Amino acid sequence: MTNLGVELEINQLEKSFGHLEVLREVDLRINPGEFIAIVGKSGCGKSTLLRHIAGLEKATTGEVKQDDILLDGLNKQARIMFQDARLLPWLTVLENVGVGLGLKKEWMEQAKWALQQVGLEERAKEWPAVLSGGQKQRIALARALASKPKLMLLDEPLGALDALTRLEMQLLIEELWLKQKFTTILVTHDMSEAIKLADRVILIENGSVKLDLRIDLPRPRTRSNPKFAKLEEELLSSVLGKQKLDLQEHRMRKVGNE
């Protein structure tokens, strides 16, 4: 299969809202079909970076290039999954997936296909109100998939789900990505989710890239792999700063000795 994903190049991207600098000198290269996870504390600018790639924000200075073309306005190749599913409550599940195709003529076949990909084809005629949170996110995923995008932007889509549903969704996203090879950027605050799914984990701190970590573990990745645990610890200590983690370990040991 040919590579469907886009290539992204971000050069010296800066963004400020008034006096507040949200992004500073962000440089990033993303290869076609790569799975990138962006992590960081809340308010560090990771969602803002994603919104720039989607073309929803205008950069103060710097640029985003996609397949060597300067991005101006909404990114036509990108599909976003938001933290809340943002389904239209007055359309059926199938029509909601059809929104991903602009509800243009002959959308129905393609929407059915997308719904099959997430395993919810039997709910096609129902209203979103009767679905669980996880099912709603799966519909949102189907809506994003429907137009066979070259770039998938995931803005903490699993943040509000319970642990089990989240694991299911992670597997589903990985499976679909392996099949269709769209370039994927996932914003998350869950380190193990980032390590589990991404080829590279980017840590953003105070608006700039602090760490660019390549994850070379074989897929499917499990936490039982000792390398997984080591990477997670490394990542956590970078996020929190080294001392804090040591302090925590020290406390744990003390409890263990008693």
Which of these, 153, 225, 162, 158, lies nearest to 189 by C-alpha position? 158
Minimum CB–partner distance for residue 61 and another protein (Å)? 24
Nearer to another protein, 95 or 174 (CB): 95
- The residues pairing with 23 across neighbouring beta strands, listed in sequence order, are 15
Q: Which of 67, 84, 190, 199 binds another protein (CB under 8 A)?
A: 84
Minimum CB–partner distance for residue 107 and another protein (Å)? 11
Q: Which of 19, 20, 68, 89 binds another protein (CB under 8 A)?
A: 89
Nearer to another protein, 56 or 236 (CB): 56
* Binding residues among 24-83 for another protein as defined by CB under 8 A: 54, 56, 74, 76, 78-80, 82
* Binding residues among 99-158 for another protein as defined by CB under 8 A: 99-100, 102-103, 127-130, 143
Nearer to another protein, 89 or 256 (CB): 89
216 phi and psi angles, rounded to 5 deg = -105, 20
- Residue 178, phi-psi category: left (phi > 0), alpha (psi -120 to 50), beta (remainder): alpha
Minimum CB–partner distance for residue 43 and another protein (Å)? 20
In one letter, which amino acid is 115? Answer: L
Q: Which of 60, 61, 70, 90 binds another protein (CB under 8 A)?
A: 90
Residue 23 CB contacts under 8 Å (≥ 6 apart), including other chains: 13, 14, 15, 45, 48, 49, 52, 207, 208
**Could you give the CA distance from residue 117 to residue 245 in angstroms, rounded to a whole number?**
41
Q: Tell me the number of residues near another protein by CB under 8 A.
A: 23
Minimum CB–partner distance for residue 78 and another protein (Å)? 7
Q: 57 exposed, middle or buried (CB, 10 Å; 0-12, 13-18, 19+)?
A: middle
CA distances from 243 to 249, 251, 256 (A): 10, 12, 20
Minimum CB–partner distance for residue 146 and another protein (Å)? 9
Residues that bind another protein (CB under 8 A): 54, 56, 74, 76, 78-80, 82, 84, 86, 88-91, 99-100, 102-103, 127-130, 143
